[in-house]
Copies of this chain bind each other. A is one copy, B any other.
């Protein structure tokens, strides 16, 4: 049987995909790299997946008749979850949350990366020496074509093999040169293959991208959990482990190196690239991750006065670091700004171009340490706020990372709540974005008050199902997310009073950091012209709810953008561009680090920011 795939065109981005007939439109969009939001798991209830079908009329389902207004229906608006495509279709993405797809490439400050690397691969047809041309091999190589500009360092193993290798290949070969030293040599012309790696080394997650260094294209992406997590979820526990456990530092370095090597193996497999063809690597991590990666003690970052061993970019041979790419490939870390604002934030700034912007921009990377950048090309400040792990699911009763089984979105309707669970399986817990949604909804219905207290309000307007979800106890109340699903206590999915406190501490720290930076810069929050949100939250964060709980300042919605994995993009830019490298040096000298613990006003501001408005 011959089933013809059907074409689906997505507007306004003009993306087209070919899918088998019967494919759900949300799935088809996903294949086109477009993330259509959905909360009700395709039941046609939440109304989040609205799209406009153009140039064609298709019938409405009964769910659509209920959820969509007559006006919407007259415009050809449908719920994507209700459409299983059968013929060619043009669909306009109109959902408000379409802006939550990774916006980096369209963000006006993030220029296209010009490939301008340190790395060169040159194919040489060298002169064959003769009795009347007794040129030595080393000079022959150095004077050939572009190498003659400056002396190239020839590493000992290369020099040792050079005479035999050149003669075996009739003085025709390809040399890979990194700035001023030979990395590698191949028989024949291999100039078409030049690969590099950009790593985002997160405290929680490691993401590696294999990059074609000729085109700048990402060939493959692979990720894994940072195995150091076993020795502590946050950076401070890792520092503690590294400095107090015998062999702790070596273990942490070895673990992360092995994880990176695993990712590299996967990237190579995905792309049919040999690890010896990878000639360079860049890595953006926070300052402590960078220290642990290099096997440098981070001890003095954790003690007052919080001094890192290095801020500038460090560059060593892969071999020295145990990274399984070409042994002489250079591995560089993005420079750190301070002990708690690391290379990942330098990458964020580099990728977003905040430091070159006329507009006052606020950059937030929410994590256990929330890094905040505020300013413009006039002046740029940054700080690190100890937000705690709540937004990564840590220290939350049923908290978990944004992985299969995690509730990552939720909306309370009058008659029922809608949850979105990653992987479309039974909910096992709740991750950061889900938690923000829940707290925002609890605030909306008055079940959490301005001080953060969780309790049923006097108001009679609380829907029945919500009222039933509040579990009252003598001391503290809890909110049961899934009251009807299961009655056993063990499988209850509760948000406790303590969880609310953790959220308050987290959002309070970040809001206080933003507040202090505004004070330091002499502006009000409303002067902020752009807000860029980076980090694992990515496009899953509901901006309204983040504002509602006070994590994000209350500025007009159109000023807020999600910038996805900014550290990865920064690492990629650093890898591909000499100019970008120089720029990072400027960035770390330009950005002013504000040590919050030194501010006498911090505690007051923090206490204020812990409240809900």
Contact = CB atoms under 8 A, between A and B. Distances in A.
B297 A134 contact: no
Interface in A145-165: 151, 154, 156, 159-160, 162-164
B295 A160 contact: yes
B139 A311 contact: yes
Among A142, A297, A308, A339, find the residue whose CB has the most chain B CB atoms closer than 10 A: A308
Contact of A310 (B129, B130, B138, B597): B138
A362 B290 CA distance: 60
Contacts of A154: 310, 314
A132 B304 CA distance: 11
Among A130, A296, A309, A311, find the residue whose CB has the most chain B CB atoms closer than 10 A: A309
A135 interface: yes
A137 B316 contact: no
A312 interface: yes
A465 interface: no
Contacts of A167: 300
A131 interface: yes
A593 B162 CA distance: 23
Contacts of A304: 131
Nearest to A163: B309
A339 B138 CA distance: 13
Interface in A249-306: 294-297, 299-300, 304-306
| Copies, count | 2
Interface in A436-465: none
Contacts of A54: none
Contacts of A595: 131, 134
A136 B311 contact: yes
Interface in A138-188: 138-139, 142, 151, 154, 156, 159-160, 162-164, 167
Contacts of A297: 160, 163-164
A588 to B, nearest CB: 10
Interface in A372-420: none
A336 B595 CA distance: 58
A160 B296 contact: yes
A598 interface: yes
A294 B156 contact: yes
A339 B306 CA distance: 57
A17 interface: no
A320 interface: yes
Interface in A298-356: 299-300, 304-312, 314, 316, 320-321, 336, 338-339
Contact of A129 (B139, B151, B307): B307
Contact of A137 (B134, B308, B593): B308
Contacts of A159: 294, 296, 309-310, 314
Given A129-B307, A134-B305, A307-B129, A163 B312 contact: no
Given A134-B305, A164-B299, A316 B139 contact: no
Contact of A136 (B130, B309, B320): B309
A309 B137 CA distance: 5
A310 B135 CA distance: 9
A308 B156 contact: no
30 contacts: A129-B307, A130-B305, A131-B304, A131-B305, A131-B306, A131-B595, A131-B598, A132-B598, A133-B305, A134-B305, A134-B339, A136-B307, A136-B310, A136-B311, A137-B300, A137-B307, A137-B308, A137-B310, A138-B309, A138-B311, A142-B312, A151-B312, A156-B295, A159-B294, A159-B296, A159-B309, A162-B309, A163-B309, A164-B297, A167-B300
Closest 3 CB pairs of A and B: A138-B310, A131-B305, A136-B311
